[in-house]
């Protein structure tokens, strides 16, 4: 069966998105420990071609189990496939698109025409240890008949490529002057990017920073790392605005639904103990459980304001209020947050993609 390049690209793109989510959670797909060890060898090798060719072989194996993945040239036999065409049409463009360190073309850089992936070409290769690891994985792929196991291995392989990207430097596209309408488009795009809550948090912090600078407030803006317990750290919320050692406002940035029980738990563990009078839930949707709103009204009667704001609408209105000067502060603050070394490359690449779509 001829390789379906469109389906191959779609398969890699879909699974890479899943792999990026796995990486954000630090949860690689589980595979055979010996195969995992061989992949580790491939991904530290300076010969990039081995891992790139392996990705092509994996796709070929998934598409048609009758393909001989050791024969990457169509004139080698009835079950051979065009590994070079698969690389040129799918693999290499995809790796470049995702800013993953890669070669310009693995079949041109390492393997001569009509080679077969076996030990017969080993003596002519520079990194023989990595090639031995490559052959181990090829042998493993040949032995697998279960579709789910092949799918899991592909996802693991893409996880390793995403992990490889983390060690590289991703220059950020600069955000020039844009209109409020364009901010709406940009924010909508960014808030759809899987980030484990990082992007909404950075957007909120950048907005508060811009407001502080524009109105020359002597605020101290502190914020929590992702998945850090507010209660354990003693913080009032995900973001805390203070002045003169007094909490003025605490904020929770959430992508989860707001229920009455959550409002009650937040009040009992954070708001009441710290005496917080102004608490905001920033949400991605305007949908809040009516019982949660009713509970918030009861706390208001006790002197504690608990409010719910849709994050994009709040940011747009804030940016409109603080004028061009304030928007420049927002742009600068947001870029600095995204450009921090501990921010996953997945987010940096997503930022570049959103800017490219906005200005392209």
Instruction: Tell me the CATH number at 188.
Output: 3.40.1350
Residues 96 and 218 both lie in one domain: no
Residues 160 and 257 both lie in one domain: no
- Check residue 233 and give its pLDDT: 47
Residues 209 and 132 both lie in one domain: no
**Residue 224, beta-bridge partner list:** none
Q: Which residue among 116, 140, 166 closes a domain?
A: 166
Does some domain include residue 323?
yes
Does some domain include residue 273?
yes
- Check residue 154 and give its pLDDT: 98
- Check residue 12 and give its pLDDT: 97
Residues 162 and 195 both lie in one domain: no
Residues 215 and 351 both lie in one domain: yes
Residues 40 and 154 both lie in one domain: yes
Which distant-in-sequence residues (6+ apart) come within 8 Å of 94 by Cβ?
9, 12, 13, 16
Q: Which residue among 143, 166, 189 closes a domain?
A: 166
Which distant-in-sequence residues (6+ apart) come within 8 Å of 131 by Cβ?
47, 50, 122, 125
Its pTM stands at 0.86
Residues 268 and 348 both lie in one domain: yes
List strands edge to edge, sheet with 246-253: 220-223, 239-243, 246-253, 278-283, 305-310
Does some domain include residue 173?
no
- Check residue 3 and give its pLDDT: 80
CA 223, 224, 226: angle at the middle one, nearest 5? Answer: 135
- Check residue 286 and give its pLDDT: 67
Does some domain include residue 325?
yes
How far apart (Å, rounded) are the C-alpha atoms in residues 208 and 102? Answer: 39
Residues 21 and 69 both lie in one domain: yes
Does some domain include residue 171?
no
Residues 237 and 337 both lie in one domain: yes
Burial 281-298 (b: 16+ CB within 10 A, else e): bbbeeeebeeebeebbee
How far apart (Å, rounded) are the C-alpha atoms in residues 287 and 310? Answer: 9
- Check residue 182 and give its pLDDT: 96
3-state SS assignment for residue 355: helix
Cα 278 off chain centre by:
32
Residues 186 and 162 both lie in one domain: no
Residues 108 and 249 both lie in one domain: no
Domain containing 227 equals: 180-359
Residues 152 and 206 both lie in one domain: no
Q: Which residue among 141, 166, 191 closes a domain?
A: 166
Does some domain include residue 18?
yes
Does some domain include residue 290?
yes
- Check residue 226 and give its pLDDT: 58
pLDDT tens series, the chain, 360 aa: 568 999 999 999 999 999 999 999 999 999 999 999 999 999 999 999 999 999 999 999 999 999 999 999 999 999 999 999 999 999 999 999 999 999 988 777 788 777 899 999 999 898 999 999 999 999 999 999 999 999 999 999 999 999 999 989 999 999 878 999 999 999 999 999 999 899 999 999 999 999 999 999 999 999 987 555 544 445 678 999 999 999 999 999 998 889 999 999 999 999 999 999 999 999 987 678 999 999 999 999 999 999 999 999 999 999 999 999 999 999 999 999 999 999 999 999 999 999 999 987
The count of structural domains within the chain is 2
- Check residue 45 and give its pLDDT: 96
Does some domain include residue 175?
no
């Amino acid at each position: 069966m001829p390789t379906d390049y469109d389906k191959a690209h779609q398969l890699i793109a879909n699974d890479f998105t899943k792999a990026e989510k796995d990486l954000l959670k630090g949860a690689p797909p589980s595979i055979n420990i010996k195969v995992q060890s061989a992949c580790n060898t491939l991904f530290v090798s300076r010969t990039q071609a081995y891992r790139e060719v392996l990705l092509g072989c994996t796709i070929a194996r998934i598409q048609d189990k009758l393909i001989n993945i050791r024969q990457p040239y169509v004139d080698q036999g009835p079950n051979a496939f065009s590994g070079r065409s698969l690389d040129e049409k799918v693999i290499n463009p995809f790796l470049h698109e995702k800013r993953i360190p890669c070669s310009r073309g693995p079949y041109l850089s390492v393997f001569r025409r009509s080679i077969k992936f076996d030990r017969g070409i080993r003596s002519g290769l520079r990194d023989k240890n990595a090639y031995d690891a490559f052959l181990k994985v090829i042998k493993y792929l040949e032995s697998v008949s279960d579709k789910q196991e092949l799918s899991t291995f592909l996802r693991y392989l893409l996880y390793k490529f995403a992990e490889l990207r983390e060690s590289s430097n991703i220059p950020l596209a600069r955000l020039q002057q844009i209109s409020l309408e364009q901010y709406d488009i940009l924010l909508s795009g960014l808030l759809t990017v899987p980030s484990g809550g990082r992007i909404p948090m950075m957007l909120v912090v950048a907005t508060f920073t811009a407001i502080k600078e524009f109105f020359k407030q002597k605020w101290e803006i502190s914020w929590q790392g992702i998945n850090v317990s507010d209660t354990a750290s003693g913080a009032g919320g995900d973001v805390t605005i203070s002045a003169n050692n007094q909490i003025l406002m605490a904020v929770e940035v959430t992508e989860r639904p707001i229920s009455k029980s959550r409002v009650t738990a937040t009040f009992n563990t954070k708001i009441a103990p710290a005496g917080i009078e102004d608490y905001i839930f920033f949400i991605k949707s305007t949908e809040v459980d009516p019982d949660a709103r009713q509970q918030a009204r009861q706390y208001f009667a006790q002197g504690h304001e608990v409010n719910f704001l849709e994050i994009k609408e709040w940011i747009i209105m804030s940016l409109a209020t603080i004028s061009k000067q304030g928007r420049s502060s927002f742009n600068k603050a947001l870029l600095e947050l995204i450009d921090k070394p501990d921010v996953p490359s997945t987010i940096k690449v997503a930022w570049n993609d959103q800017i490219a779509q906005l200005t392209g």
